[in-house]
Amino acid sequence: DTGVSQDPRHKITKRGQNVTFRCDPISEHNRLYWYRQTLGQGPEFLTYFQNEAQLEKSRLLSDRFSAERPKGSFSTLEIQRTEQGDSAMYLCASSFVPDQETQYFGPGTRLLVL
Amino acid sequence: GESVGLHLPTLSVQEGDNSIINCAYSNSASDYFIWYKQESGKGPQFIIDIRSNMDKRQGQRVTVLLNKTVKHLSLQIAATQPGDSAVYFCAEKAGGGSEKLVFGKGTKLTVNP
C-alpha cells in the first residue's frame, strides 16, 4: 500500500513528557498536512507544508507543538510537556498540487496523555 | 466566520435504500468542498469532491450536490450497503490563500440489513 503512513499508531504517555509522531506522505506528494481530531468531532487543521516550507499554522498550534519536514518528504510533529488536553487522534494528510488538491489521510496516531 | 455543519448527527437506513447526508456551510468564499468517510479507528477516506464552479458531480454510487445560493452541500449514496456504515464528514476549503480544510462534526450513517 502506497498511501499515507503514520507511526506510531498509538501512544500512551504521562503528562509532562514529550512525544514525537512521524508521517510519510504518498510518494511525490508535495503538500503535507497535520490535523487533530477529538472524539465526536471533525478533524481540525494544525499546519501544512509545501515541500519543506511550513506555509500555514493554526492558532491551535501552541508553542508546545512543533512540526518539521526537513527534506520535503516525511514530517514529524512533536508535542513538548504534554497535557491531558492533548489527548486526541493526530492525522496526517498529503496532496499533490497543482494537479490535484484532494487531501488523502493516513490512519492517524492516537495519543493518550495520563 | 468559518462553520461547516451537518443537519443531522445520525442517519439510519435500510440496506438497498438511497441515503442523503446534508451539510450547511457559512463561508460564501469557499471554493472547494469534499466528503470523507471515516470508520471507527481509521483515518478519513476520500469519497468525492466538488469545486464551487460546479453544482453536481457523480462518482460510483455517490453524487454530491452543491447549492451555493443557500450554502448547502449534500452527499447521495445509491443502494446503500452495510459497508457504507460510518461517520461522514463534509469539509470546505475557505480560500483566500488558506489551504486548510474546515470540517463539520459529521453524520453517523447506520445501514440496517
A-B CB pairs within 8 A amount to: 54
Q: What's the confidence (pLDDT) of residue B4?
A: 59
Alpha-carbon distance A80 to nearest alpha carbon in chain B (angstroms) = 24
Low-confidence ranges of chain A (pLDDT < 70): 1
Does B14 or B4 have the greater pLDDT score? B14
B102 neighbourhood in chain A, CB within 8 Å: 45
Check CB contact of B40 with chain A, cutoff 8 Å. no
Three cell numbers at B50?
Answer: 466538488
Q: What is the pLDDT of residue B6?
A: 46
Q: Which three cell numbers stand for residue B11?
A: 442517519
Q: What integer pLDDT is reported at residue B96 of this predicted model?
A: 79
pLDDT grade for B47, boundaries at 50, 70 and 90: very high
B5, pLDDT greater than 70: no
Separation CA B112–CA B95 (nearest Å): 38
**Residue in this structure with the C-alpha cell 478519513, named with its chain if needed:** B44
pLDDT at A2: 73
Q: What is the pLDDT of residue A100?
A: 81
Mention every residue, 6+ apart, whose C-beta is less than 8 A from residue A104. A3, A4, A26, A29, A93, A94, A95, B46
Return the percent helix, strand and coil in chain A, to nearest 5.
5, 55, 45
pLDDT at residue B103 in the model: 94
Confidence at B24, pLDDT banded by 50, 70, 90: very high
Phi, psi of B102 (to 5 degrees): -110, 120
Phi, psi of B86 (to 5 degrees): 180, 180
Residue type, A110: R
Distance from CA of B103 to the nearest CA of A (A): 5
Q: What is residue B2's predicted lDDT score, i.e. its pLDDT?
A: 39
The shortest C-alpha distance from B44 to chain A (Å) reads 6
Mean pLDDT of chain B: 91
Q: Are strands B56-58 and B45-51 parallel, antiparallel or unpaired?
A: unpaired
Q: What percent of chain B has pLDDT over 90?
A: 79
pLDDT at residue B58, as a whole number: 97
Determine how β-strand A75-79 pairs with β-strand A65-68: antiparallel
Determine the residue of chain A that is closest to B48 in CA distance. A102
Q: Which segment of B43-52, B80-89, B98-107 scores lowest on mean pLDDT?
A: B98-107
- Which three cell numbers mark A64? 508546545
